[in-house]
Amino acid sequence: MLTKRIIPCLDIKDGRTVKGINFLELRDAGDPVELAEIYARSGADELVFLDISATEEKRKTLAELVLRVAEKVNIPFTVGGGISSVEDVDILLKNGADKVSINSSAIKNPQLINDLAAKFGNQCITVAIDAKKIDGEWIVHLMGGQIPTELNLFDWAKEVEKRGAGEILFTSMNNDGTKNGFANEALARLSSELHIPIIASGGAGNMQHFCDTFKEGKADAALAASVFHFKEIEIIDLKQELRRNGIAVRI
């Protein structure tokens, strides 16, 4: 049985880790290098490092910070934000990232997914999808959730898989930062219609939410930020609770 993964997310703005609600109202959550080192020691299975303002501000991911973080961790490490070319990915992987996450650039240029998968392998390519449920339909957004597109979540996810993505990081904008639980109905549908791993993101507030997303949402991994950054949930405690609920995790 494949183990489920617990993934702290470090959203970076101006070199600091931040956390908000529904993609807004950002507050400082600490130094990303220090947090990365703590998570690597405390049982996280992977880390995701997203420069959330890189695309918005038309600049590249902070490659130097990526290098500093990568030097401190011994677990897989995904980097995203402002990635729009094969060259961008080459730099990040050389600086220590294990995988990259693309979002807005994939929507604007879907061929980028094909190109990156061909050059670096499917296992290196995560496509992040930010979607919001509007009038009963999940609508994909870009630019850090600021701009709605005409893409439907499930149609776009299928295209992403066909083009060579190794996994999908789905963030529900409706759930993000609310601590009311993950969007398990949408996650379950994604898991049933696709063949690649699905990472649940947006809404974690307590340990039961993680249990629910693995059982009801059929997610392969669960990503969270504030509940870990502000010590509301310790990863080792979470994993022990998951095991008690019959969910396979690595301890």
Residue in 11, 45, 51, 88 annotated catalytic: 11
How high does pLDDT run on average in the chain?
91
Span 203-229, mean pLDDT? 96
* pLDDT top residue among 21 and 28: 28
Q: Do the Cβ atoms of 99 and 123 come closer than 8 Å?
A: yes
Span 129-148, mean pLDDT? 93
Q: Do the Cβ atoms of 86 and 109 come closer than 8 Å?
A: no
Residue that has been written with the tokens 């959550």 in this structure: 29
Active site residue 212: no
Three-state DSSP class for residue 211: helix
CATH code for the domain in which residue 24 is found: 3.20.20.70
Dihedral of the alpha carbons of 215, 217, 221, 223, in degrees to the nearest 10: -120
Active site residue 11: yes
Instruction: Give a yes or no: residue 250 inside a domain.
Output: no
Instruction: Give a yes or no: residue 170 inside a domain.
Output: yes
Instruction: Give a yes or no: residue 249 inside a domain.
Output: no
Instruction: Give a yes or no: residue 141 inside a domain.
Output: yes
Return the pLDDT at 60: 60
User: Hey, what are 184's tokens?
Assistant: 């398990």
- State the residue range of the domain holding 23: 5-244
Q: Is 74 exposed, middle or buried (0-12, 13-18, 19+ CB in 10 A)?
A: exposed
Residue in 88, 130, 176, 220 annotated catalytic: 130
- Which pLDDT tens digit goes with each residue over 157-184? 999 999 999 999 999 999 988 899 999 9
Return the pLDDT at 159: 98
Instruction: Give a yes or no: residue 144 inside a domain.
Output: yes
Tell me the pLDDT band of 58, cut-offs 50, 70 and 90.
very low
Instruction: Give a yes or no: residue 192 inside a domain.
Output: yes
Instruction: Give a yes or no: residue 251 inside a domain.
Output: no
Q: Give the torsion sign (CA, 112, 101, 132, 190).
A: positive
Instruction: Give a yes or no: residue 226 inside a domain.
Output: yes
Tell me the pLDDT band of 27, cut-offs 50, 70 and 90.
low
Return the pLDDT at 57: 53
Residues near 217 by beta carbon (within 8 Å), at least 6 away in sequence = 182, 183, 184, 185, 187, 188, 191, 200
Domains contained in the chain, number:
1
